[in-house]
Chain A
Amino acid sequence: MTKLTFIGTLDGNTHELTVDDLDEDSGLYIVNLDGRDYRVDAHSMPSEIVTAIIDNKSYDIDLDKIGKQDDTLNGSMAVRVRGRVVYLDMLDQRRHKMRAAQASRFTQSGVTKITSSMPGKILRILVQEGAEVKEGQGLVIIEAMKMENEIKAPKAGVVKQVLVKPAEPIDGDTLLMVVD
């Protein structure tokens, strides 16, 4: 018998979930979500899909972890339920606290790291180190899947560092620039 508590974050609201497996291999669980008990009959299918019967309603729940895979404090997931995709974060209590502590440290600094949201090739760099940029100003143009995509400044500031060169192939989540 195991009983564990998790914190889910969805649209900025946090939800407490306690999962209790009544009997190891039956696939039956009692899950308490925000104070309400759900009796869930769940079985995993290949490729991170769960078939779940909740109050006799049948769901295929399709889970995908998103963002950095190696970060143990990243619980971001895209969860598809009846064709609707719900984006949420799910972490156990301890990791949730660790992440909250980390996040508050980061927001105090004014440094913004500009990363690529997609893999591709650097086509052009639109600003130089030391340049002042406005919010929404184009910084880098990345080519991927035959389209040119402009990465814009999320806030106004000064370009402290440019870490990529034109024609350089990049992965998703590559650090491109630092704006302060």
Chain B
Amino acid sequence: MAQAFKKILVANRGEIAVRVMRTCREMGIPTVAVYSDPDRKALHVRYATEAYHLGPALAKESYLNIEKIIAVAKRAGADAIHPGYGFLSENPAFARAIAASGLTLIGPKAESMEAMSSKTKARQLMKRAGVPVVPGVEEAIRLESDALRIAQEMGFPVMLKACAGGGGKGMRRVNDVKSFSSAWSQAQSEARNSFGDESVYIEKYLDKPRHIEVQVFADQLGHVTAFTERECSVQRRHQKLIEESPSPFVTPDMRKQMAEVACLAAKAVDYVGAGTVEFLVDAQRNFYFMEMNTRLQVEHPVTEMISGLDLVKMQIEVAMGLPLSVPMPMVPSVGWAMEARVCAEDVRHGFAPSPGHIKDVRCPGGPFVRTDTAIYAGSDVTMDYDSMIAKVIAWGDTRLAAIQRLDRALSEFTIKGVTTNTMFLRQILDNKSFVAGTYDTGIVEQFFSADSNWISDEHKSVALLGAALACFEHEKAMRARVKPSASHHHASQSSSNWRWGTCP
């Protein structure tokens, strides 16, 4: 029954599209890229075997346009589609349209996505399957007045969540009645823009829980297995920043229980392929089902690093109909892995997005370090898409070794042209509660209130010296240009060695 794919279309962009294509290249399967107007020169387009234009920057008219993508797949002769993460990856209508066209989606069935894509339906289903869920309502709320009443009954703080949500979009924490109205309309509007569905529901807000998730994998023959959990508590506004596996908080007993519950959740929706069951964990180590992501996760490389397995290859094999060839019900792991998400954001200005033209990139190297990115010198980071531009992943035999290695790798990462959060990520790695492994989802907030002597006098002096030298050479070059003299030729030549775009 197993039939190898002849050609795979990757319905995504950025680092994940490149990451998927890398495995395809290793497996000898040609790839098809699709792209929007601003992505003509994007790395995924250059990396693919074939590339087809979709439409304008607006996702609705390009990466979210089901008809166009399927038409490209047919025209290119692709027999399978990998959706990556985000965009159409968890869209049941996309899964149905692919099946109806006689193509194969490298992902779960539409029904499984549907059961999980609605957070409210998933909560109902999990409750029935005996999986613990966060206290809250199981229905979408239409009216703001009803929502406010429910929130008051439940007691503030509460979480407003998009029923179709994921990735922190359409999600707002509300502390009191006063801020309810603006949070409600923001959550609705973000939900509408991100998912095309503005319905929102309410959950009790758990105070500084941990966010721990379990990667599961299922084949078409009914086998399900789980991987060692990933700890994803380092978040800002529900966007993960650093992930690690294993979690320093999880005990061996708890690991086993979480794996069992995660497999239970997957079986309850007749799951196929790679999926992730996300849990909120309180200080007493109670864990509650939060949601199941029916796709490959951004942070899947940490699992790959400690398991030694290529999850994209497994996805492709399962989609071809091959049985899982990994240990069940749990895949063993070795050592510790950690990932940092490098974003084009200006930390000093409230993490404002910082799009721009990449002038130069030096990626980290050395042993047990992996950098997944789609930026290169000359590429553009546009405001049209997500601000995450790279993931740096490091493996170590112990947790401390992984921290030190990731920190070292980030210190090597030089990106010129956009402002990034790289130093901020390193500051977290240096944070006491992070190093001790005692942190929860409050870590980023606490971190900001803590005093840090991260910048020493030595850093300051060297920065001043470097800046003064740059200005000096710039000034000298300017003077040489305005002063025609016998040494004119010589002066203009020497100034070309110092090309300072940085000084007035």
Contacts and interface: CB of A to CB of B under 8 A. Distances in A.
A91 B504 contact: yes
A82 interface: yes
Contacts of A65: 501-503
10 contacts: A6-B467, A19-B469, A47-B359, A77-B502, A84-B454, A84-B455, A90-B471, A119-B355, A145-B353, A146-B194
Given A33-B468, A44-B499, A83-B422, 14 more contacts: A4-B471, A31-B468, A47-B416, A65-B501, A84-B454, A86-B455, A90-B467, A95-B504, A118-B346, A118-B355, A120-B383, A145-B386, A145-B387, A146-B385
B354 interface: yes
Contacts of A118: 346, 349, 352-355, 383
Contacts of B387: 145, 147
A165 B419 CA distance: 27
Nearest 6 CB-CB pairings of A with B:
A61-B466, A86-B463, A83-B411, A47-B360, A79-B463, A19-B472
Nearest to A171: B383
A84 B453 CA distance: 11
Q: Is the interface of B mostly helix, strand, loop or mixed?
A: helix
Contacts of A149: 350, 352-353
A85 interface: yes
A180 interface: no
Nearest to A31: B465
B82 interface: no
Contact of B464 (A17, A62, A73, A82): A17
Contacts of A31: 465, 468-469
A33 B169 contact: no
A128 interface: no
Contacts of B354: 118
Contact of B416 (A24, A61, A64): A64
Interface in A17-35: 17, 19, 21, 24-25, 29, 31, 33
B498 interface: yes
A123 B194 CA distance: 14
Nearest to A27: B497
Given A65-B502, A146-B194, A119 B383 contact: yes
A161 interface: no
Contact of A145 (B193, B359, B383, B471): B383
Interface of A: 2, 4, 6, 8, 10, 15, 17, 19, 21, 24-25, 29, 31, 33, 38, 40, 42, 44, 46-50, 52, 54, 59, 61-66, 71-75, 77-88, 90-92, 95, 117-120, 123-124, 138, 141, 143-149
Interface of B: 169, 182, 186, 189-190, 193-194, 344, 346, 348-350, 352-355, 359-360, 383-387, 410-411, 414, 416, 419, 422-423, 426, 454-456, 459-473, 475-476, 479, 494, 497-504
Contacts of B462: 52, 54, 59, 61, 81
B383 A88 contact: no
A49 B473 CA distance: 13
Given A82-B411, A117-B350, A146-B386, A63 B459 contact: no
Contacts of B349: 117-118
B460 A75 contact: no
Contacts of B426: 83
Contacts of B459: 81-82, 84, 86
B492 to A, nearest CB: 13
